[in-house]
Amino acid sequence: MSIRHSGIGMTSQRTRMRMVERLREQGITDERVLTVMNTIPRHLFVEEALASRAYDDVALPINFGQTISNPWTVARMTELLRANSNLGKVLEIGTGCGYQTAVLAQLAQEVYSIERIGPLLTRTRIRLRELRVSNAYLRHADGLLGFPEAAPFDGIMMTAVTTQVPESLLEQLMIGGRIVYPKGSRKQNLCVIEHTSQGFIETILDEVKFVPILSGVISK
Ligand code: SAH
């Protein structure tokens, strides 16, 4: 991989440190999240032509009409999911290029991630294998159904926007666990749902921009 992106290999650690400094200035406080994002080579998750912009605070295209979330969004969602405690099993809906998956894999014991676009997932599988991410289990399926065999989860992250979290996902969240997702349609906000013994509590937070959740799968 160092061959593929040899041109920017020399500067990427410095560029990553600048990205982390910026995240701090933008209000990210979870040091573990910042440490992990300081180590993961984000430029390897985008096409080579876009690699030089990988650390900018922008979302970038990853083919099939999808996008890799900007660094702040990844950091913020991860810090909200972690809530300063160690994560056991996490479910991600919308694997995309796998960057968020790789971040979660450093902070949780196991990550289960579902992607509906087959060819996108095939590339991501190769990428995560090359990066030796060994505790992420990827599945080509409709994420709205969740991953019942691996449930319950102590965290669920959706990386595509929806107006409502499906019942199947709420059922797969253990008590004490939380779901972080972008809620809305044209206007979108990050939203945290906590599963307490008294029921589900929803909190609406920062404004964001995501591609929509779609049902069904694409095989090729
Ligand atoms: N975390 C990803 C975000 C990718 S964009 C990254 O950083 O790259 C959102 C992804 O969600 C897209 O890849 C899209 O195909 C996927 N997606 C949308 N609806 C889905 C569904 N119902 N099940 C699984 N994946 C879905």
Structural domain includes residue 1: no
pLDDT for 96 beyond 50: yes
Domain range for 151 is: 9-208
Structural domain includes residue 180: yes
Q: Across-strand partners of 184? A: 188
Residue 11: pLDDT band with limits 50, 70, 90: low
Atom of ligand 1 nearest to the CA of 69: 7
Residues 172-188 pLDDT 10s = 999 999 999 999 999 99
Structural domain includes residue 198: yes
pLDDT for 6 beyond 70: no
Residue 9: pLDDT band with limits 50, 70, 90: low
Residue 85 CA to ligand 1 center (angstroms) comes to 25
Residues 106-138 pLDDT 10s = 999 999 999 999 999 999 999 999 999 999 999
Structural domain includes residue 129: yes
Find the CATH number of the domain harbouring 180.
3.40.50.150
Structural domain includes residue 178: yes
Domain count, the chain: 1
3-state secondary structure the chain: CCCCCHHHHCCHHHHHHHHHHHHHHCCCCCHHHHHHHHHCCHHHHCCHHHHHHCCCCCCEECCCCCEECCHHHHHHHHHHHHCCCCEEEEEEECCCCCHHHHHHHHHEEEEEEEECEHHHHHHHHHHHHHCCCCCEEEEECCHHHCCHHHCCEEEEEECCEECCCCHHHHHCEEEEEEEEEEEECCCEEEEEEEEECCEEEEEEEEEECCCECCCCCECC
Ligand 1 contact, 213 CB (< 6 A): yes
Ligand 1 contact, 117 CB (< 6 A): yes
The pTM (predicted TM-score) of the whole model is 0.95
Structural domain includes residue 3: no
Catalytic (active site) residue 69: yes
Structural domain includes residue 34: yes
Residue 77 CA to ligand 1 center (angstroms) comes to 15
Atom of ligand 1 nearest to the CA of 215: 22
